[in-house]
Chain A
Amino acid sequence: MASYLLRRLLIAIPSLLGISVILFTVLAMAPGDPFSEMATNPNVPPEVREALRASFGLNDPIMVRYLRWLTAMMQGDWGFSFASRINVDKLILQRVPTTLFVVGSSQILALLIALPVGIYAATRPYSVFDQIANTLAFVGFSLPTFFTGLLFILVFSVALDWFPFVYRSDIAATGWRWYWEMFRQAIMPIMVLGLFQAASYTRYVRSAVLDVIRLDYVTTARAKGLSERNVTLRHITRNALIPVVTLVALQMPAVFGGAIVTEQIFRIPGIGSLLIDAILANDTPVIMAVTFVFACLVVIFNLIADILYGWLDPRISFS
């Protein structure tokens, strides 16, 4: 197991390096520069723009810039943001908790919906419940989050005035009031993300359970006279969840990516909105760092999925 882990981690290094080379080159060759706002302002002398380009190293060849970035990165120096001139790691750390909270809660919500609905629907295939669940899942899966987000805002914020639609990272309240405010502002984005995710998980859980339900050992369990409830929970669900767990783990990086849109709509100060702002401002060090974090997430969650799989299904061995 230990040697397997080590091997996987060693393989991850060259792939991350490759990713970073591609990212850097694409970004360096992409048009635009961080000083566009100065361009139409006659009060900013052109020399200042030139001096800044030079001091930020934008005039050097791509190779030189990449090597400089890589050596700095190895030493834990992520560089500084061109837009705010503060260190990138500080910027990212400021944003990560919010993203984790929103994405994490929405995942929990998604599983809380998808598991019971999926299992119940699969044990009664083609029943009215199954058909309704299927239809809803299909609808939820097809509606993009930017649409549902806007719809939620128009219904719950503008028309009903129940929830605020601007998410704030610091709430000027303490104790229960803080939790209440936090809940109020987080509920819409979490619902939007959670429902979308729940829809796709439900379909998956249902089909995974359907696969297992027809297997011989389930029939055997029933023949032994076990209660239907017992059969479903002990024998069917446990085995059906193996691929589901893998799917959830593999979906995590994609969920972070999907949250970018939601973060923008609700003004959630997460790393997704940081990435969008950085792209709009051509803030290369920040774009580089955030996309690199996403790349690392993909690699890490892949690894977690593999390990979980082996742990859940003893037939797979790591040796």
Chain B
Amino acid sequence: MKDHDLRRLIEGVKTGTLSRRSFIKKAAAVGLAAPFANQLLGFNGVAMAQNATIEYKPSKAGGGGPLKILLWQAPTLLNPHFASGTKDQIASRIFFEPLAGWDKEGNLIPQLAAETPTKANGGLSADGKEVTWKLKPGVKWHDGKPFTADDVIFTWEYAKDPATAAYTTGSYKDITVQKIDDLTIKVIFKESTPFWADPFVGVAGQILPKHHFADYVGAKSRDAPANLKPVGTGPYKFVDFKPGDILTGERFTDYHVKNQPHFDTLEVKGGGDAVSAARAVLQTGEFDYAWNLQVEDEVLKRMETGGRGKISAVVSGDVEFIILNTTDPWTEVDGERSSIKTKHPTLTDPKVREAINLLIDRDSIQKFIYGRGGIATASFVNAPAQFKSQKLKYEFSVDKANKILDDAGYKRGADGIREKDGKKLKYVYQTSINAPRQKTQAIIKQACQRAGIDLELKSVTASVFFSSDVANPDTYTKLYVDIEMYTTTQPQPDPERFLQQFLSWEIANKENKWLGRNVSRYSDPAADEAYKAAQKELDPVKRAALLIKVNEIFCEANVILPLLSRTRVAASVHNLVHDHSGWDVDTWNLAAWYRS
């Protein structure tokens, strides 16, 4: 859809000739998903939706009995700002709430805020540097104290302090927060920030009560009793917690949403593995809900025939992809392999990279391995849809790959492996140990064989592969091999931070202890420029175009070979009405869950 078409439609919604819903439908028809459509409306002065996607039916709070959730990776701590993994974020979100959360369509839904800031209600400044949040009045903490702007200001001070070492610090360290009055705060950014819905929103935005944490800022943060006995504003009050095992809660009778929550008690049990977690919901009904079921779809389908529960999969921004190393992993320069001072003998040839991309049978990988767990894609950014490139297409063709390599002068040797100037097309292809990944490796290896490329498969245990251990050569950021594959998470609907992996100054190397986000080490000044421009661009349509360009530069160069856009899969018993979002944690809207 062209710029001006979109603008005309937006005008339509504004003047009332087009309903919000039909705008979103029209946008969807041309490949723009609801989140984008909604954000577009927001930026252009049309108020955002103020209700979550779930339709809440119960007419009174309580009376729903117990709700039992099974997280096969057990929560170990309950402070949202220390929560490194989703399991801890999910558990914290039961007790703590942010100003607003994201629903599965990417809508920003107010939680502790009275409304979503827009240009129309004066929440967003014209220069994109200030956001004013109005807080919901009458909200109480679990101990009866009122929730005010002081708590929000405190949360900012707490999370930005480097000594606290909060995992959320990235959202807070560069902003200033001012108190306007007891129920109004203003977030001030240093520069125009198109994606303003980051601090105090979603996973990183959970607000802490000042009166419980004020004495535990910085180095003392580990000692706060409330780290393990949370006092929040959420729908359920804390009862008991055994780290790594079980978490229990009870209904908070003073919860700030009328008639919510529905369940009287809450239990979150941890431990075990994904397959048996799915079984406990789908086959025995012992639990009401199980999350993150990265299980082969065939297995889930078999369990679903038991008839006790169903699977729901929502789109997320996570992407499973392959990186081709354009630096030489087998030569050491200044104590560093894959140094940017080197060039890979064959993978720097765009023809070879193009051929490899043609040898990936994405449709089979989706059909036979991931099922509902992923959607084949050629784009690194897939959701929200406004950031997905419509240009990138994938194709599987051994013949074409063979032709490209023939034309480029790679001849088959006696062993069937192609070579040119004595350099063989032989690569080491690594990933983490995980059944679907090893199967994917095997599929790709087979196709490559048919084109005269030899892949040696390597799998590294996940705890090593994804670690930041500087001494270990097998971490994914070191990329001491030719090819590697993993999933990276896009935590927000806005892909700006996600696209850091394509920037020249983010290249992982010895100097930054391989903590840089650009693992491929490929860089292109055009991508850097587009990225910098997007950071300041307030017009959402132009901004999306710039970010799409960053994405396309890397995908078209065939350095990043996206495979699948991952979905988040959960199991629930039939009578549980829930909704989980790919842009927020599963419990983001727990207050509205009910049993029909």
- Where the two chains meet, the residues of A that have a C-beta atom closer than 8 Å to any C-beta of B are 31-33, 35-53, 55, 80-81, 83-86, 91, 94-95, 153, 157-158, 161, 164-166, 168-170, 172, 264-265, 267, 269, 273-274, 277, 280-282
Contacts and interface: CB of A to CB of B under 8 A. Distances in A.
B467 interface: yes
A36 B271 contact: no
A44 B287 CA distance: 32
B467 A31 contact: yes
A170 B265 CA distance: 13
A269 B245 contact: yes
Contacts of B265: 172
Contact of A83 (B76, B240, B486, B517): B76
Contact of A41 (B243, B279, B489): B489
A40 B70 contact: no
Given A42-B491, A84-B243, A277-B244, A267 B272 contact: yes
A-B residue pairs, 3 tightest by C-beta: A46-B515, A269-B245, A84-B76
Interface stretch (B168-176, B405-413, B414-422, B547-555): B168-176
A118 B219 CA distance: 61
Given A157-B284, A164-B284, A277-B74, A45 B467 contact: no
Interface string B545-582: 00000000000000000000000000000000000000
Nearest to A91: B243
A165 B286 contact: yes
B77 A85 contact: yes
A96 to B, nearest CB: 12
B12 interface: no
Interface in B458-484: 461-469, 471-472, 474, 476-477
Given A35-B468, A172-B265, A86 B240 contact: no
A40 B487 contact: yes
Given A45-B170, A51-B165, A94-B242, 10 more contacts: A35-B84, A38-B468, A44-B84, A46-B512, A85-B222, A153-B276, A161-B284, A267-B271, A267-B272, A267-B276
A277 B468 contact: no
Given A36-B462, A273-B244, A277-B244, A53 B280 contact: no
Contact of B467 (A39, A94, A170): A39
A176 to B, nearest CB: 20
B228 interface: yes
Nearest to A47: B162
Nearest to B272: A267
A257 to B, nearest CB: 18
Interface stretch (B140-148, B496-504, B536-544): B496-504
B162 to A, nearest CB: 6
B467 to A, nearest CB: 5
Contacts of A40: 466, 486-489
Nearest to B169: A48
B269 interface: yes
B464 A169 contact: no
B367 to A, nearest CB: 26
25 contacts: A31-B461, A31-B471, A32-B461, A32-B463, A33-B469, A38-B167, A39-B477, A41-B491, A42-B489, A42-B501, A43-B170, A43-B203, A43-B204, A43-B492, A46-B513, A47-B162, A85-B222, A91-B243, A94-B243, A157-B283, A158-B284, A166-B280, A264-B273, A267-B269, A269-B245
B479 to A, nearest CB: 13
Contact of B244 (A38, A43, A85, A269): A269
